Structure 1
Amino acid sequence: MFSFLVSRSFLRSSNLLFSVSNNFRPRFLSEDVDGSLLSRLKFDVKDAMKNKDQLKLNVIRGLLSDITYASKSPTSKSFSASDNEIYEIINRAINRRQESIDQFSRANRLDLVENESSELLLLNSYLPKQMSVQEIELEVVKVIDHFDLGDAGIKDLGKILKKLNLDNARAPKKTVVEVVKKVLSSRKTG
């Protein structure tokens, strides 16, 4: 058996230490499935580096950081970086950008609004085609009719949301809740 001594500084400098101590990497970083959203994000980071696209690089690195944080969070032991879980992370990032745009607009910081808007467009490009408000309304009405909740009011909001089975990537929860409230209030007055 051939063995030799190697200093830790050599290992660190040659990046071998990280590959030797691979057990510190999150589970999803080592298991890539072609065609997954995570693979696409990793590819786009490399592409952004090659093209020196700093905006895209920062946004995607932020998403990958959020994914890593979610995988290490003690509250999410079953995080597997599936596309649906990543879509939820992207939706949270979109909500943060929208709140920032509102705040920057009120403060009349148009330069920051423009930057956040660019990031928002980039984040939206990773989501599937979104359901329109009319499509969500149609689904809500179907659920109300199917479960015979004709006299449903705001108090039945949770019941309807549980029975409503919409993809979070195509219909963000915040939008769905607003639509359900709107439908319920229109049924009470109508």
Structure 2
Amino acid sequence: MNLKETLENDLHEAMRRKDELTRDTLRIALSSIKLAEVESRKALDDAGVLSILQKEVKIRKETVGELQNTGRSDLVEKAKQEYEILSKYLPVQLSDEEIEQFAHEVIAQLSASNLSDMGKVMGILVPKLSDKAAPERISKIVKNLLLNQ
């Protein structure tokens, strides 16, 4: 069973349980997936679905940050719950130490020594770790490693 089918099955299960928050959250995610499929005129594979889910999770995370400043605790709580619902479909994220270990290997392999080599390092690391770490996190770690050499 692929990721999209899992989402659809979980949506049907949420509907049976009358879990409105999970139902609505999964509907939004599946709607985004279907929109991407229509735009690309082909069915998305698991990597494409995962990419859409990562965007949805990122949106929820940003929403939580923005809403905390407004004092709307009810909306903050809802956004946090949506974040948790969608996060369980994402693969386990690597720790900073694990990303650093991969980065050290690639830096040594390329003999990278300064920030001008960052593009080369990122070009190898991002595709390798794309489903396990956000590119922003990878970039931050690589930049620190290259600056501290």
Return the TM-score normalized by structure 1: 0.73
Distance in 1 of aligned mates of 2:50 and 2:138: 16
**1:47 aligns to 2:9 (yes or no):** no
Distance in 1 of aligned mates of 2:43 and 2:62: 28
Equivalent pairs: percent with the same residue?
29
Which residue of 2 is the match for residue 158 of structure 1?
A: 119
1:62 alignment partner, one of 14, 23, 28: 28
Displacement after TM superposition at 1:168 (Å): 1.9
Amino acid at match of 1:161: M
1:93 alignment partner, one of 56, 76, 87: 56
Amino acid at match of 1:52: K
Amino acid at match of 1:112: L
Displacement after TM superposition at 1:106 (Å): 1.1
Q: Unmatched 5+ residue regions in structure 2?
A: none
Distance in 1 of aligned mates of 2:70 and 2:96: 30
Runs (4+) of structure 1 exceeding 4 A deviation are none
Return the TM-score normalized by structure 2: 0.92
Displacement after TM superposition at 1:94 (Å): 1.1
Deviations 1:130-188 (A, max 9, x none): 11111011101110001111x221x322211112242322112222222222222232x
Distance in 2 of aligned mates of 1:147 and 1:156: 9
Amino acid at match of 1:136: I
Give 1 or 2: higher helix fraction. Answer: 2
Whether contact under 8 Å (1:49, 1:57) holds in the other structure is: yes
**1:123 aligns to 2:89 (yes or no):** no
Deviations 1:82-115 (A, max 9, x none): 1111111111111111111111111121111111
Distance in 2 of aligned mates of 1:139 and 1:80: 32
Alignment RMSD (CA, Å): 1.4
Distance in 1 of aligned mates of 2:142 and 2:72: 34
**1:167 aligns to 2:129 (yes or no):** yes
Structure with the greater alpha carbon radius of gyration: 1
Whether contact under 8 Å (1:88, 1:168) holds in the other structure is: no
